[in-house]
A = this chain, B = another copy of it.
């Protein structure tokens, strides 16, 4: 490893001068500057991040922490982060916890927030994400929350209007003549599960549709349960059977569609299906019709969060940044308009 000391020795100046040249922090005689620069170049000097971080208490890096980085769900979000990273001087590093691991996520957050990065972008809406956020908040460490927030504490966060998204999806179906609209819900300890379900109830109530008790069913294990729940809905007699099934997310919806098709139902001819997330990538090689879905602007969120956090870290913005992103309906092939034909 080539150090500043070595450069100092070889160019006959003090290490302080080398530092001044390399960081451009104070004026240095042009000839010295040149000499130092040249020696540094020849030796292939790269500053030691740890040493610099220790004394400056700045690392010039931003950390992004998620669960399941491999999940195609993150496609647009990561693209946004990457694009944001191109626009800033901060180095951006990603850390991923497997499954719904809290231990590992906590470990990464602690690791990053103590001398590795200057700020963290934490993606997730599990209950433990809020706990991690509280920890960062208590430590006064700069961070940005995506899809979560801390009750009673104002923090930088980007939220998505999950409730409004499902609410508008119900209206979308209603406007196309659907009245018996079922919902397949997720009951993880994630705020977005509750928010989405709430949007469903609110819309159904406002539209004066039947109280949806028997039209809401919860996933037990994972998204594959969409299959058996759909099977259940399809077992209803035709006059009670839902004409549309709204799903917590697209993965669930994909299994609902699979089931319907397997049972000889036509989607959307016989039954419509909607999802959430507008994922281009569905699990297990789904090849059915493209799923009409509630889309969230993940690219923008990724991009904006990197840029906003950069601004905060540079001190360019002092205020707490909060934003609620709106969703839109991505019209695809799984919803029929019952008012036509």
Binding site for B on A (CB under 8 A): 1, 44, 46-54, 59, 61, 63, 68-70, 72, 74-76, 78-79, 82-83, 85-86, 91-96, 98, 104, 107-108, 110-111, 113-116, 135, 138-139, 280-281, 285, 287, 290
Task: Please name the residue on chain B nearest to A53 by beta carbon.
Answer: B50
Q: How far is the CA of A281 from the CA of B282 in the complex (A)?
A: 8
Q: How far is the CA of A95 from the CA of B111 in the complex (A)?
A: 16
Q: B98, B108, B114: which contacts A48 (Cβ < 8 A)?
A: B114
Q: How far is the CA of A280 from the CA of B49 in the complex (A)?
A: 39
Task: Please name the residue on chain B nearest to A80 by beta carbon.
Answer: B70
Q: B residues within 8 A CB of A44?
A: 135, 138-139
Task: Please name the residue on chain B nearest to A69 by beta carbon.
Answer: B78
CB A154 to nearest CB in B, in angstroms, measures: 21
Q: Indicate whether A94 sits within 8 Å of B69 (C-beta atoms), given known contacts A46-B110, A139-B44, A285-B290.
A: yes
Q: How far is the CA of A214 from the CA of B46 in the complex (A)?
A: 49
Please tell me how many copies of the chain the complex holds. Answer: 2
Q: Which of A44, A50, A83, A287 has the largest number of chain B CB atoms within 10 A?
A: A50
CB A106 to nearest CB in B, in angstroms, measures: 10
Q: B74, B94, B113: which contacts A95 (Cβ < 8 A)?
A: B94
Contact A49 B285 (CB under 8 A): no
Q: How far is the CA of A138 from the CA of B46 in the complex (A)?
A: 13
Q: How far is the CA of A86 from the CA of B110 in the complex (A)?
A: 16
Q: Can you give 15 A-B contacts (C-beta < 8 A)?
A: A44-B138, A50-B50, A50-B53, A50-B115, A52-B115, A53-B115, A63-B93, A69-B78, A70-B74, A70-B76, A85-B104, A94-B94, A94-B96, A280-B281, A285-B290
Q: B51, B86, B108: which contacts A91 (Cβ < 8 A)?
A: B108
Contact A96 B115 (CB under 8 A): no
Q: B residues within 8 A CB of A281?
A: 72, 280-281
Q: How far is the CA of A107 from the CA of B49 in the complex (A)?
A: 12
Q: How far is the CA of A9 from the CA of B169 in the complex (A)?
A: 59
CB A249 to nearest CB in B, in angstroms, measures: 17
Contact A91 B111 (CB under 8 A): yes
Task: Please name the residue on chain B nearest to A86 by beta carbon.
Answer: B98
Q: How far is the CA of A116 from the CA of B111 in the complex (A)?
A: 11
Contact A111 B49 (CB under 8 A): yes
Q: B residues within 8 A CB of A47?
A: 114
Q: B51, B75, B86, B98: which contacts A104 (Cβ < 8 A)?
A: B86
Contact A69 B98 (CB under 8 A): no
Q: How far is the CA of A92 from the CA of B95 in the complex (A)?
A: 7
